[in-house]
Structure 1
Amino acid sequence: MQINGCSVVVVGGTGGLGEATVRRLHAAGAKVVVADVADEKGKALERELGVRYMRTDATDEASLTDAIEAAEELGPLRASVDCHGGPATGGRLVGKDGSPLDLDGFRTTLEFYLTSVFNVMRLAAAAMGRREPVDGSRGVIVNTASIAAYEGQVGQLPYAAAKGGVVGMTLVAARDLSPLGIRVMSIAPGTVLTPAYGKAGDQLEAHWGPQVPHPRRMGRPSEYAGLVAHIIENDYLNGEIVRLDGALRFPPK
């Protein structure tokens, strides 16, 4: 799949991973729609790069449909990248006081980190499926999981469950969409140092950097973006989760 000239929607495109991806794909010649809820950052990217910003709630069908339609106005939608965030609750399944983990918080975390990913996939795939194939392919969907899906730490149960769901959907979605010529991949990042951490970034680097086997540092958003670009261009990558973690494995705590 050629990046140059294709239309791409990046859900969560104003975040650390998302902005790096927007910049990488735009530089490669893609027509990018930034779908997010951070208006100030989104409009700044729109002014700087000439991409299109659409205020988008990934949990809302109408909002997401508008973003996808905006991307289709720019050209054939060939790629969807989902790296949006949202509120996440945590805590032990049973607290020290004997109380069970909050059910509503669990549901909210799954809504933002799993159900919304399904929402993006189904709507983006339907749009891609209406396009004529190029060399037998209509598009590619890239989702974002986490190594917490495999080694969730104490207190991460809701988040680990959601990201584990993204992992579990990847191969099934790829099989479902294979008749349409649409690939599905997921990236499972480890610890990535994004601008959102601000001044706390130095402390996080000091904590996590030495735990990464090699390179002994936290990941960079540009490395995520580079992997997204490679996935789009490599037609034989399908139905798989790629860990992007420097061989880090989360300890229990």
Structure 2
Amino acid sequence: MGLQLLVLVVLCRVVGLGTAGWLTGAVFAVGSWAVLTLALRRSWTGSFGPANRVTLARTILVGGVTALVADSFDGRAPVRVLIALATVALLLDAVDGQVARRTGTASRLGARFDMEVDAFLILVLCVYLAVPLGAWVLSIGLMRYAFVAASWALPWLGGDLPHSMARKTVAALQGIVLVVAGAGILPRASAAAAVAVALALLVWSFGRDVWWLWRVRPVPDRSDVLPRTTSPRAAPGTRRAPGRPAPDS
């Protein structure tokens, strides 16, 4: 939290971060600290690990991006600073995984931590682009959260997915396309077309995973459930007449 607040102070001095940015950044700092603390208490392994420290650094950068995006609704956002922070956060996404594998500190907590930071950064960038390109861009950032919400009603959606390079490539492409579109180096029509292609690929990726989870979903075994009208000792397909005892009674 202290480092996150320090980043906000630096942004205030460098780009003149406003009240909206300060409040949003502070809420992000408290919220991320609370969620991470709760997750650590539930699955503490004795060491936070170097890979999680890299992801924590990414979290602080994402907090800065979030503050700048919130501040952009009150005036013109410092695009260069915003894109620079987002770019570094995306680049570090390739570092924490390598660190985890090389140091033997990979864990479910680290993987989830990394995934949540990625998802929130994508959502924030979508919010930033929703003004110039349209609210449809938010579907990219909200898709994963809709998937998680759907898994509460359909538990089979929470199953483990196999490793897929295609899934990783599509996920990485979302951040790259959103950063390029947000940098303003493309005409608006070209930026919208690039984001639309990224959205189509994301829909394909999620649809592919949902189909796989549906195919391998656990089906309850009902072979031991007897029909209500069948005697426990009667042969399948036979019934007793109402009011008459079983033949062997």
TM-score (ref. length: structure 2): 0.29
- Structure having the higher Rg: 2
Structure 1 or 2: more helix by fraction: 2
Which is bigger in relative contact order (C-alpha 8 A, separation at least 6)? 1
